[in-house]
Amino acid sequence: MRRIAVFASGSGSNFQAIADAIEAGMLEADIQLLVCDKPGAKVVDRAQKLNIPVFTFMPKTFGAKADFEKEIVNELNAYNVEFIVLAGYMRLIGEVLLQSYEGRIVNIHPSYLPAFPGKDAVGQALEANVGETGVTVHYVDSGMDTGPIIEQVKIPVLPGDTRETLQERIQKAEHQLYPAIINKLLQKDIVGGIVQ
């Protein structure tokens, strides 16, 4: 069973979808740790209800990103984490984590990358008045949603869509796609730190 950590900053709907997929036997993994940069976030409550260990931190209390990432790596090592899953983690990953988990960090983004990277992808899509957007699962590199794409699905933007209605359809797609792709990745052998 692959030992994963989930990083999240908000409500944790993707975290919950991953945990539910594990419980249903659709994802062969074990969430060893939730890493959260917002101690009061709803995702922390979700993890605690599932008896999943939580590491929270406040970035502003550290001198630099490398300092809190070293703390995170220490926690990941303590739980023998093999793979990192970003699920609404609203921070760029820095060199410390990238070097420690090269090729073993994935993210899900609520757009059809390379369109609408960064924050508020749903709002960006609505503002651009496009006919479709999507969901992208990708490996993480040092850029903002620039890592190699693993899988994508397109989501139509319907006439009259609001941020809420479009986000709801995007999240529904995310909750199906992400656990399936994570499972696929974890079933493959990890060779030299890169999923082959």
According to the 3-state scheme, what is the secondary structure of 64-111?
CHHHHHHHHHHHHHHCCCCEEEECCCCCCCCHHHHHHCCCCEEEEECC
Q: Is 93 annotated as a binding residue?
A: yes
Name the E strands within the chain: 2-8, 29-36, 54-56, 83-86, 105-109, 132-139, 149-156, 190-191, 194-195
Q: What is the mean pLDDT of the chain?
A: 94
> Cβ distance 170 to 137 under 8 Å?
no
The arithmetic mean of pLDDT across residues 184-192, rounded, is 69
Q: Per-residue pLDDT for 55 more than 60?
A: yes
| Nearest-angstrom CA–CA distance, 25 and 78 | 26
55 closest CA partner among 31, 42, 72, 70: 72
CATH numbers and ranges of domains, the chain:
2-109+135-152+175-195 (3.40.50.170)
Q: Is 90 annotated as a binding residue?
A: yes
- Give the model's pLDDT for residue 191: 40
SS3 33: strand
- Give the model's pLDDT for residue 188: 79
Model confidence pLDDT, tens digit, residues 70-86: 999 999 999 999 999 99
- Give the model's pLDDT for residue 196: 42
Model confidence pLDDT, tens digit, residues 117-166: 999 999 999 999 999 999 999 999 999 999 999 999 999 999 999 999 99
> Cβ distance 7 to 85 under 8 Å?
yes
**Confidence class for position 189, pLDDT limits 50, 70, 90:** low
SS3 142: coil
Model confidence pLDDT, tens digit, residues 98-128: 999 999 999 999 999 999 999 999 999 999 9
> Cβ distance 5 to 100 under 8 Å?
no
Q: Which of 109, 138, 170, 186 is catalytic?
A: 109
Q: What are the residues facing 149 on neighbouring strands?
A: 138
Q: Per-residue pLDDT for 67 more than 60?
A: yes
Q: Per-residue pLDDT for 192 more than 70?
A: no
> Which strands, in side-by-side order, build the sheet including 149-156?
54-56, 29-36, 2-8, 83-86, 105-109, 132-139, 149-156
| Nearest-angstrom CA–CA distance, 29 and 79 | 14
Q: Is 107 annotated as a binding residue?
A: yes
Q: Per-residue pLDDT for 46 more than 50?
A: yes
The arithmetic mean of pLDDT across residues 37-42, rounded, is 95
CA distances from 80 to 5, 101, 163 (A): 10, 12, 39
Is 109 catalytic? The answer is yes
